[in-house]
Amino acid sequence: MNRFTSQRGRLLSMLLPVVLLLAACGGPDIEERLQGQWKNGDGNLVRFTTEHTAYIGQEGLSGEGECRFEIIGDSVRVSTLPGEEQQTNTYFMHLAGDTLYLDAIGLDRPGHRQRISSEDFALRTGKPSYKLHFTRIAEKP
């Protein structure tokens, strides 16, 4: 190994921790970016609060259903709470820029579990897939 290659290797090994630290501190984390209310093209609403709690609803209707959410990387998983019939729906999404993209829907029923991709769901419902993605609703002053 020549002297130039050795110096370059040492320089890179010293800079790597700095680059990783800057990347980790590069802006608000995904949980902060999720806070607030989001709406898709069908008027479905999801409101993220703190403590991994979210609420889902429908534009024009009163009431919301409480959910739990978890963050894994840039992915967000919103799950309805099981009711008397022990049924849950899980919405698999990812945040990119200012859009929360629906990737799949999981249906968990006693004795049956199914996961439907957003493309398949769009085909089944006859809706364009862009209507399934959520954008933030601007807060009113």
The CATH number that applies at residue 122 is 2.40.128
Identify the band that residue 114 occupies on the pLDDT scale cut at 50, 70 and 90: very high
Q: Helical H runs in 25-113? A: 30-34
CB 16 within 8 A of CB 110: no
CB 95 within 8 A of CB 113: no
Asked if residue 19 is part of any domain, the answer here is: no
pLDDT per residue over 45-74, tens digit each? 999 997 899 999 999 999 999 999 999 988
User: How many angstroms separate the Cα of 75 from the Cα of each of 34, 71, 132, 133?
Assistant: 11, 6, 16, 14
Backbone angles phi, psi at 60, to 5 degrees: 90, -10
For position 103, what pLDDT does the model report? 96
For position 73, what pLDDT does the model report? 87
Asked if residue 125 is part of any domain, the answer here is: yes
pLDDT at 18 over 50: no
Asked if residue 52 is part of any domain, the answer here is: yes
Q: What is the mean pLDDT of residues 79-85?
A: 85
For position 50, what pLDDT does the model report? 79
For position 97, what pLDDT does the model report? 87
State the total domains in the chain. Answer: 1
Rounded to two decimals, what is the model's pTM? 0.74
Share of the chain above pLDDT 90, in %: 62
Asked if residue 2 is part of any domain, the answer here is: no
CB neighbours (10 Å) of residue 68? 15
C-alpha–C-alpha distance, residues 132 and 17, integer Å: 39
C-alpha–C-alpha distance, residues 54 and 95, integer Å: 15
Asked if residue 17 is part of any domain, the answer here is: no
Asked if residue 1 is part of any domain, the answer here is: no
Q: What is the mean pLDDT of residues 84-111?
A: 92
Domain enclosing residue 108, as ranges: 30-136
